[in-house]
């Protein structure tokens, strides 16, 4: 905050610069895909220095999250894995299900686009594989960490959609902390439990 009064759009205004970078990022990611879109290319599309992009948004995954207003960033998910109240599963469920969705916002548009065309779908998949799983898998440290994270993540994604997008009354009516206690044990088992005890003890 500075003391000068707002004077609308003018070059050098941090809010305008931030907005231009976000727009350039959405366009560049959509065109080049997640992996091939570089900070340098996004900076060039926004006509700013790459250092400024890093200064405002940090890493590429954080810029992707900001540009599409994704409810849960890798940093938030990692923090939920590492700290907070309750079991690991409860913390992760709370972070995910407690996230807000802006109706008609860039995240909705992104998921819609992922249904509509293969390029958008590949971009979202690459972001989840590189941006989310590469960050979170080392925390679990198991050989099947990516499978476990996808299991847990797709469960929470399905619930989030059923509650926030589809708006099923039975889910809307449930208190968030109740939902966290119901879902927590599942997430715990998926992330750190024995996934297939029957399969391991079967003699054949």
Residues 145-184 that bind a copy of itself (CB under 8 A): 146-147, 150-151, 153-159, 161-163, 165-171, 173-174, 178, 181-183
Distance CA 40, CA 21 (A): 11
Least separation in angstroms between CB 63 and a copy of itself: 21
Looking up tokens 């972001």, which residue turns up?
127
Distance CA 37, CA 85 (A): 37
Size of the site for a copy of itself (CB under 8 A): 47
Distance CA 147, CA 160 (A): 20
- Binder of a copy of itself out of 3, 198, 203, 204 (CB under 8 A): 198
Least separation in angstroms between CB 69 and a copy of itself: 15
Closest CA to 193 of 132, 158, 142, 129: 142
- Binder of a copy of itself out of 95, 114, 119, 192 (CB under 8 A): 114
**46 CB neighbour count, 10 Å cutoff:** 22
- Binder of a copy of itself out of 128, 131, 135, 191 (CB under 8 A): 128
Least separation in angstroms between CB 51 and a copy of itself: 34
- Binder of a copy of itself out of 111, 120, 123, 191 (CB under 8 A): 111
- Binder of a copy of itself out of 124, 131, 136, 188 (CB under 8 A): 124
Instruction: Give 19-66 as a DSSP string.
Output: HHHHHHHHHHHHHH-TTT--HHHHHHHHTS-HHHHHHHH-SHHHHHHH
Least separation in angstroms between CB 65 and a copy of itself: 17
> 42 and 53 in contact (C-beta within 8 Å)?
yes
- Binder of a copy of itself out of 108, 130, 140, 192 (CB under 8 A): 108
Instruction: Give 78-114 as a DSSP string.
Output: HHHHHSSSS-HHHHHHHHHHT----TTSHHHHHHHHH
Residues in contact with a copy of itself by CB under 8 A are 108, 111-112, 114-116, 121, 124-125, 128-129, 144, 146-147, 150-151, 153-159, 161-163, 165-171, 173-174, 178, 181-183, 185-186, 189-190, 195-196, 198-199
């Amino acid at each position: 905050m500075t003391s000068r009064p707002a004077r609308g759009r003018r070059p050098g205004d941090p809010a305008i610069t931030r907005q231009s970078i976000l727009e350039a990022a959405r366009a560049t990611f959509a065109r080049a895909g997640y992996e091939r879109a570089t900070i340098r290319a996004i900076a060039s599309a926004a006509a700013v220095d790459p250092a400024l992009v890093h200064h405002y948004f940090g890493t590429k995954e954080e810029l992707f999250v900001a540009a599409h207003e994704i409810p849960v960033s890798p940093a938030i998910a990692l923090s939920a894995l590492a700290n907070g109240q309750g079991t690991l599963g409860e913390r992760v469920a709370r972070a995910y299900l407690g996230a807000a969705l802006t109706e008609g916002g860039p995240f909705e548009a992104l998921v819609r686009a992922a249904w509509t065309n293969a390029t958008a779908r590949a971009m979202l998949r690459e972001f989840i594989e590189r941006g989310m799983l590469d960050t979170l898998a080392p925390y679990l440290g198991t050989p099947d960490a990516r499978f476990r994270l996808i299991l847990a993540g797709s469960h929470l994604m399905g619930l989030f959609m059923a509650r926030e997008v589809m708006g099923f009354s039975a889910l809307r009516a449930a208190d968030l902390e109740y939902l966290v206690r119901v879902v927590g044990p599942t997430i715990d088992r998926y992330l750190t439990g024995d996934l297939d005890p029957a399969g391991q003890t079967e003699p054949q």
